[in-house]
Structure 1
């Protein structure tokens, strides 16, 4: 009966994967797989492409984690005394900075109070403090000057340099007098130069302060275009005079290079003194040119102009009481003259 049954006997160990058709198909490498051949694709005609067996890619190598090394010895953070000294030094530095800030705050508060008192006191004028003359002197100070109070922070350095430059110029004029005096001691023909050297000391020292230092001080104090133009005009003439001083024309009272070289032939010591004066005159002229350019560059930043200078000049002229009285007197005299002529 079993021969008519389709099921195999249990004793028969039949493996379906060992069928000849299956083994023949698996051994044939030219037969393509479904992922390489699409039978429904009408674009390709002909036999299916051969099977291309791609080798399996190698698996990525596992990265070994970095080994963490621990120090064999503990870190030395210093002893307790060292740490306490460092903390004390830091505390002292902070206290010093705090005291400095408090001192600056008190100084700013004092300046603000002074400015407020000056702005509120309309009738009373400020007390002059320059030149700083002693109390027993019969003459008193003529100007009020305080760069730290009246000049803004951005212009204080320039105004201070101009003040020291004026003092340097006055000192050079005094040294020029000494040089001309030493030349007169060895050569009596230099009496004219000695007299002019005395005149330059008495003339240039005060006039330079009034004519170009005070205008630049007031220009930076109140942003005055008129004072800027007054400073440029006078200081440019002063720089030209500095150049003449450096040249040292004989008989002009300046110990420049020409007079210094001439004195070197007469007396070596006198010649050295006058040549040193010529070097100082040269430095003075160069410094004058530098400061003129610096003030001019700062003047362009302030927004001043010639039109503002004209308006300030007209305002100052017509606000002057003496000018108004003179104008009124001239107008009255002209009116009386015209009335008398008409009669």
Structure 2
């Protein structure tokens, strides 16, 4: 009956899984050997020193940094090469533009020539309907080397200032004449100096220095020095203002202060213009002489150029041949 007395719904054996022999043995051994672990204790750190992986004793720089430095250096070299190419391209474009401009200028100059191939005169710049035509050809960019542009243009400006001063001298002498009729001689001479010295100065000292710089002519240099030296002397005389010489200089201007102050002021202004002419003339004479010494010109070359010019001049050859023929005919006729 004992079998019928048991509870069929109760567990036949009350089993504790943690009381298993293998489990209890493992847990009891782990407790003995493991102990409490402190990761910051010195003993535990010492126990794990053998298992740490040491840092490589080689270069501390990562390999990827070397690669970036090399790439940056190559990029710098490439950028420098590109900048150099861009600069060369800009220089080539500038040279091409300069050549194109010169070609256009050459075409314009060629179009301005006559059918015979000679250059058409363009100075003085007169209108096309004027009955008087230009007498000279002048082009600084074409005729004068670039290193002589400035000095040659200064000589041209001096000549224009010289003509303006002579014209103002006429007005000052006119005012001088209105104050006293006895000063009519100065007024008449001032008109003569203006009409005479304006074109003569252009032909006698400006054109020679223009030709000298254009063709490096020793003869033209010597001719300019000879004439322009006297021109500077004339400037000084005009600045002084000797009475009855047709110049409104300092002497005649100061002499008018007591008679008519307004006329004296006008004459003093003109005297100042003559003074500026004198100073500029001396300065430019020295500048031209310094340029002349650099060109290698000499008196011997001037003599050779003069002799060659005389021998090759057709007019002189014709005149000499005519004179020789006349002399021969006279000699045969008398015989």
Same structural fold, with TM-score higher than 0.5 when normalized by the shorter chain? yes
Residues 88-127 of structure 1: CA distance to partner in whole angstroms, max 9, x if unpaired? xxxxxxxx999987764433333455678899x9942111
Q: Which residue does 1:12 correspond to in 2?
A: none
Judging changes above 3 Å, is the alpha-carbon distance between structure 1 residues 334 and 147 closer, same or farther for their aligned structure 2 residues? same
**Deviations 1:48-86, CA, capped at 9 Å, x for gaps:** xxxxxxxxxxxxxxxxxxxxxxxxxxxxxxxxxxxxxxx
Is 1:266 matched up with 2:259?
Answer: yes
**More helix as a share of residues:** 2
Query: Is it true that 1:110 corresponds to 2:139 in the alignment?
Result: no
Q: What CA distance in whole angstroms lies between the structure 1 residues aligned with 2:223 and 2:136?
A: 18
Partner of 1:230: 223
Q: Name the SS of the counterpart of 1:155 in structure 2.
A: helix
Query: Once superposed, what is the RMSD of the aligned Cα atoms?
Result: 2.5
Aligned to 2:299: 306
Q: Counterpart of 1:145 in 2: which secondary structure? A: coil
Cα distance change of structure 1 residues 212 and 334 upon mapping to structure 2, 3 Å threshold: same
Number of the residue aligned with 2:156? 163
* Map of 2:40 onto structure 1: none
Offset from partner CA, 1:160-189 (integer Å, 9 cap, x none) = 110011000000000000100111111111
1:239 touches 1:285 (CA, 8 Å); kept in 2? yes
CA deviation after TM superposition for structure 1 residue 314, in Å? 1.4
8 Å Cα contact 2:112-2:120 kept in structure 1: no
Alpha-carbon distance in structure 2 between the residues aligned to 1:102 and 1:279 = 49
Please state if 1:211 is matched with 2:204: yes
Change (3 A) 1:217 1:122: farther
- State the secondary structure of the residue aligned to 2:146: coil
For 2:163, what is the secondary structure of its paired residue? helix
Aligned to 2:124: 131
Is 1:188 the counterpart of 2:181 in the alignment? yes
Structure 2 SS opposite 1:264 = coil
Distance 2:94 2:179 in 1: 57
3-state DSSP of counterpart to 2:209: helix
Q: Which runs of 5+ in 2 are unaligned?
A: 1-89
* CA shift in 2, pair 1:328/1:118, >3 Å: farther
Cα distance change, pair 294–122 in 1 and its aligned pair in 2 (3 A): farther
Q: Does 1:281 align with 2:281?
A: no
1:333, distance to aligned residue in structure 2 (A): 1.6
Q: Give per-residue Cα distances to partners, 1:2-26, cap 9 Å, x unaligned.
A: xxxxxxxxxxxxxxxxxxxxxxxxx
Contact 1:111 1:149 in 2 (8 A): no
Counterpart selection for 1:249 from 242, 245, 248: 242
Distance between the aligned counterparts of 2:295 and 2:257, measured in 1?
49
What is the TM-score of this pair, normalised by structure 2? 0.69
Q: How far apart are the structure 2 equivalents of 1:282 and 1:109? A: 44
Give TM-score, length-normalised by structure 1. 0.67
Mind listing any 5+ residue stretches in structure 1 that lack a counterpart?
A: 1-95
Report Cα offsets for 1:109-156 as digits up to 9, x if no partner: 33455678899x994211100000112211000000000111001001
Q: Distance in 1 between matches of 2:214 and 2:105?
A: 15
SS at match of 2:256: helix
Q: Post-superposition, which runs of at least 4 consecutive aligned residues in structure 1 deviate over 4 A?
A: 96-105, 112-119
Where do 1:40-79 residues align within 5 Å? none
Deviation at 1:297, TM superposition (A): 0.7
Residues 265 and 107 of structure 1: is their aligned pair in 2 closer, same or farther, counting only changes over 3 Å?
Answer: farther
